[in-house]
Amino acid sequence: MSTQTVSFVNSRGRRLSARLELPAGTVQAYAVFAHCFICSKDSVAAVRISRALAERGIGVLRFDFTGVGESEGDFSESHFSANVEDVVSAAQWLRDQAQAPCLLIGHSLGGAAVLIAATQIPEVRAVTTIAAPSDPAHVTHLFAGCIDQIRDQGEAEVSLGIGRFRVTRRFLEDVEAFKLDKALRDSGRALLIMHAPGDTVVEISHARSLFEQARHPKSFVSLDDADHLLTRRSDAQYTAHVISAWVSRYLPDARAPAVG
């Protein structure tokens, strides 16, 4: 297995930093991994799941959203619409370099983003969400005490776990405008929903709502006592194992060409 440091330009002209995890042998297919809110491509879950999938023959592109990690731009640009566009741009880069992804994987808010993005990437056959909200606006509970200030003054600096970030009124309006019900009904892609019953950041009720709204083929797998960020190696390995077994039903027959 190897890790390539790469980058690509998104639809807004920002250069996004990425890592491409490749199998040691033949690439069966490609996937894009979208990280969680205020995380990065280097989060424990993103790295471990991507590498575990590469060990099983799937090349995975994990990248930093606009204004996050090593990518260009300011965090205030990293609203939900921009996240969706970044996933589509990541898929375009893979399409240009080797082969478009047939699988999208999204963690937390990244899971909501890939559900929307899948409808804009015709080659995608399957989507996996990990601890994803059924309503993108759920993320605003992380800074609920600042929402009035953001609406009144246009922005506010909020504390979000790993640091302080500038959240704008545009972010609020954008994330509140998106609903996943149409994407779930009309996607035509196989869907795997993975969620821990004891998740204290995004409650298990969100997984139930996603599953009820989606059409078949759809599957739900419990992550048992995993935490929201999948910080235990065993949880990330299990997640990757389940994804690789599940998606094998939806992979194209032809082997994918290697990047480079």
Per residue in 115-166, pLDDT (tens digit) is 999 999 999 999 999 999 999 999 998 888 889 999 999 988 887 766 677 8
- Write down the pLDDT at residue 93: 98
Instruction: Output the pLDDT for position 161.
Output: 66
CA-CA distances (angstroms) from residue 171 to 70, 73, 92, 113, 174? 21, 15, 25, 14, 5
Q: Which two tokens stand for residue 45?
A: 């879950």
Q: What's the mean pLDDT in 211-222? A: 96
Question: Average of pLDDT values for 13-33?
Answer: 96
Domain-wise residue ranges, the chain: 2-137+179-247
Domain 2-137+179-247 of CATH type 1.10.3720.10: no
Predicted pLDDT at 254: 58
**Model pTM score:** 0.94
Sign of the dihedral through C-alpha 62, 68, 73, 76: positive
- At 34-67, the pLDDT tens digits run 999 889 999 999 999 999 999 999 999 999 999 9
Q: Is the pLDDT at 257 greater than 90, yes or no? A: no
Decide if pLDDT at 109 tops 70: yes
